[in-house]
Amino acid sequence: MTDTSQRKVALVTGSSRGLGRAMALSLAQAGFDVAVHYGRNADEAAKVADEIRSHGVDAGVFGADLTTPANAGTLVEDVIKGMGRLDVLVNNAGITRDGLAIRMKDEDWDAVLQTNLSSAFVACRAAIKHMMRARSGRIINIASVVGLSGNPGQANYVASKAGLIGLTKALAKEYGGRGITVNAVAPGFIQSDMTADLPEDVQAAYRKDIPLGRFGQPEEVAALVTFLASDAAGYITGQTIGVDGGSHPH
């Protein structure tokens, strides 16, 4: 096992379940120590941390309510304090509050934009201060294909993901000279507990619009995140890369 002081540390927000969990485990398998973040479920986060440690690396568990953006900055500082460094930030945490724009409540707009975009910005700002001193770092923002294509009934979510893509491009240009890469990953329809609960005819209709004819797996998104976090991706920055089976070519 590599000396802990030599291993890089990755923080994945929203990593107690789903896509975030898959990303955290993939990074652990690649040799990163991983900070597991949760908003509400500390027990699930602790289980993910145990899985991470089974790969011979270290894990920390950190709770923070990212509906309040200031907490994202505190989270980053806590990870650096607790784990000694931060080399990779994956902004994955996000919520939805769907509804037609004409009926959307102000609080539903605000909650989604604050959690999905403002908290990601605050986390980036805090991480960049640390990464600038190291003259190295990777930031990976988990956007969505709907941030590129739009989607009815999700004006707030679409705006937050489109904002993440724009933020990615701006930060890539601002901090590339400091050795920091910033990229976005835009998943399409990914297999989850939610998709599994959809009636088969609804699933079939969605699959019909996907050239590869199937939903993606969380591990397929995680593999791209892990690559972007690696030294091999050192000349890739400012990009938005889709993982969508070809359904939203861009």
CA atoms of 166 and 178, how far apart (whole Å): 20
Share of the chain above pLDDT 90, in %: 90
CA atoms of 12 and 139, how far apart (whole Å): 10
Whether 2 has a pLDDT exceeding 50, the answer reads no
Average pLDDT over residues 130-151: 96
For residue range 66-114, what is the model confidence (pLDDT) as tens digits? 999 999 999 999 999 999 999 999 999 999 999 999 999 999 999 999 9
Known binding residue 159? Answer is yes
Query: pTM score > 0.85 for this model?
Result: yes
Known binding residue 17? Answer is yes
Q: What is the pLDDT of residue 147?
A: 96
CA atoms of 175 and 162, how far apart (whole Å): 20
The residues near 33 (Cβ < 8 Å, ≥ 6 apart) are: 4, 7, 8, 9, 10, 57, 58, 59, 60, 83
The CA R_g of the chain, rounded to the nearest whole Å, is 17
Whether 1 has a pLDDT exceeding 50, the answer reads no
In which element (H, E) is residue 231 found? none
**Mean per-residue pLDDT over the chain, rounded:** 95
Q: In the structure, what pLDDT confidence band is assigned to residue 14 with cuts at 50, 70 and 90?
A: very high
Known binding residue 38? Answer is no
For residue range 172-183, what is the model confidence (pLDDT) as tens digits? 999 999 999 999
Query: CA torsion 61→180→55→191, rounded to 10°?
Result: 80
Which of these, 50, 44, 72, lies nearest to 193 by C-alpha position? 44
Strand order in the sheet with 59-63: 59-63, 33-38, 9-12, 88-91, 137-142, 180-187, 240-243
Instruction: Write down the CATH number for the domain with range 9-243.
Output: 3.40.50.720
Q: What is the pLDDT of residue 3?
A: 47
Q: What is the pLDDT of residue 201?
A: 87
Q: What is the pLDDT of residue 5?
A: 56
Q: What is the pLDDT of residue 248?
A: 76
Whether 136 has a pLDDT exceeding 70, the answer reads yes
Which of these, 98, 104, 72, 117, lies nearest to 194 by C-alpha position? 98
| Domain residue ranges in the chain | 9-243
Active site residues: 157
Share of the chain above pLDDT 70, in %: 97
Known binding residue 208? Answer is no
Report whether 225 contacts 184 (CB < 8 A).
no
For residue range 186-227, what is the model confidence (pLDDT) as tens digits? 999 999 876 777 788 888 988 999 999 999 999 999 999 999
CA atoms of 74 and 82, how far apart (whole Å): 12
Q: In the structure, what pLDDT confidence band is assigned to residue 249 with cuts at 50, 70 and 90?
A: low
Q: What is the pLDDT of residue 250?
A: 62
Known binding residue 175? Answer is no
Known binding residue 242? Answer is no
Buried b (16+ CB within 10 A) or exposed e, 165-190: bebbbebbeebeeeebbbbbbbbbbb
